[in-house]
Structure 1
Amino acid sequence: MAKSKGMNAVEAYLVAYNAASFAGWAYVLAQTVMYLSEHGTNLNGLFDRIGYALIYVQTGAILEVVHSLLGLVRSGALTALLQVYSRLLLVWGTLYPFDTPEIRASPALVLMVLAWSITECVRYSHYALGILNIEVYALLYLRYTLFYVLYPVGVTGELLEMWAALPYAAAIHPALKAFLLFNMSGYPPVLYKLYTHMIYQRRKVLGSGATNPKAAQASVDAGGAKKKRL
């Protein structure tokens, strides 16, 4: 169900940002699925197919921190930074510098990319439509349900990628290896915090799990300039 409403410049920009981010992640997801259907378990060419698109679209998420700092969205800058930081570490700290099969042609990369891209396709489309005041309950449901599977899948891929990067990081400098290990050690408490937070949000938004138009509208109303968390 859609409700007409005028948009100001900030809302128009946020719609464009979310739509562009959705398009980028949809491209990464489609290319990954097509590559796997064509080559099966031979992952030697996967990074060549999606690697730089993945790096660019994920780097674009830095704008979410900027949005928070400028007060365009409701989420705090620190929260946005923490959410973006770990992925930037993966794309710029492992995938980009280390051109090795253990990192760029591993099942861990597949796990990570599929979890990220599916999550972001749902998230960005939900946010863009929310700013337009278009209610799509299926997207709302997926936004607050897929994390049960995608969070552990994505984290597993991320940790395996960093683990594979450790010997190459150590060859550059022991401090770089220590830095990666330090970040890996923070995953369990952060995952627990995010997981329990999303469970709480799911109960808050979806209630008992039945279709809840009021909850769906409340989620949509959370969007827009100074309302919508990107």
Structure 2
Amino acid sequence: MRISQAYLVLYNAAQAAGWAAVLGALAYGIVQRETPEQLYDRAAPLTKLFQGAALLETAHAAVGLVPSSPLMSLMQWAGRSNVLFLLLDPIRQLHGNAWSAVMLGAWAAAEVIRYPQYAASSLGACPAWLTWLRYTMFIPLFPLGVLAEMALMVAALPDLAARKPYSVELPNAYNWAFSYHRFMQVVLALYPLLWWQLYSSLLRARAKKLKGSNGAGSKEGKSQ
């Protein structure tokens, strides 16, 4: 086994274990009848750790470890990370929003399928049923996660307008202004279009993969 292959197997296995722990934490909290805020506080530390670590996937694509677009990988990571690190985590009142738990649950449910499929494909031993799950479960989970992200963006707008975090106001030495609140309004307007472009590409990939799938694994890049 090549070093690069072993690294990809270990990386994807670690991500799979991490997201499984996130999903397990949420499931335990639900059984305990915890509030959305308690669910978020329980699952957030691991979510932030493994979502942050996913930035490595941009480097994987950039150096050719996986046949993916570095820009696409970065954009996908940035979209999630913006919601998690810049909106949801700093705005405490969003922790109690039910969409926060829905978002983490949708992310985790998708990743506990995706990363094992990547690990098995890196070994060239991906079973047909896992490929089927990878290219089928995103159909409900991806829209659910995006809907939750957008709901949290909308809920964050009043706080962004009041506190003006991450913004630069005039006058300043550079004579340049930036409104994060306005930026998020633009992102919200573009989100459905960007989502549909990615979702439709995944649907096309699903048709191709499942049509030709015979259970054999292949090296794949990040596509969600």
Cα RMSD (Å): 1.5
Say whether 1:26 aligns with 2:20: yes
Say whether 1:177 aligns with 2:181: yes
1:229 to 210, 221, 224: 221
TM-fit CA distance, 1:15: 0.7
Alpha-carbon displacement from aligned partner over 1:177-211 (angstroms, at most 9, x marks no partner): 1121121112111111112111111111112xxx9
1:90 to 83, 90, 99: 83
Give the AA of the match of 2:2. N
Identity %: 33
Give the AA of the match of 1:201. A
Paired position in structure 2 for 1:3: none
CA contact (8 A) 1:59 1:88 kept: yes
1:68 to 61, 64, 80: 61
Say whether 1:139 aligns with 2:133: no
- After superposing the two structures, state which structure 1 stretch, 173-182 or 185-194, moved more: 173-182
Say whether 1:159 aligns with 2:150: yes
Q: Equivalent residue of 1:75, what SS?
A: coil
2:32 to 30, 38, 53: 38
CA contact (8 A) 2:40 2:101 kept: no
TM-fit CA distance, 1:96: 2.0
TM-score by length of 2: 0.88
Paired position in structure 1 for 2:114: 123
Tell me the distance in 2 between the aligned counterparts of 1:156 and 1:176: 21
1:107 to 98, 114, 124: 98
Tell me the distance in 2 between the aligned counterparts of 1:115 and 1:48: 16
TM-score by length of 1: 0.86
Structure 1 gaps, min length 5:
1-6
TM-fit CA distance, 1:99: 1.2
Structure 2 gaps, min length 5:
168-178
Give the AA of the match of 1:195. Y
TM-fit CA distance, 1:212: 4.1
Tell me the distance in 1 between the aligned counterparts of 2:213 and 2:82: 38
How many residues matched? 209
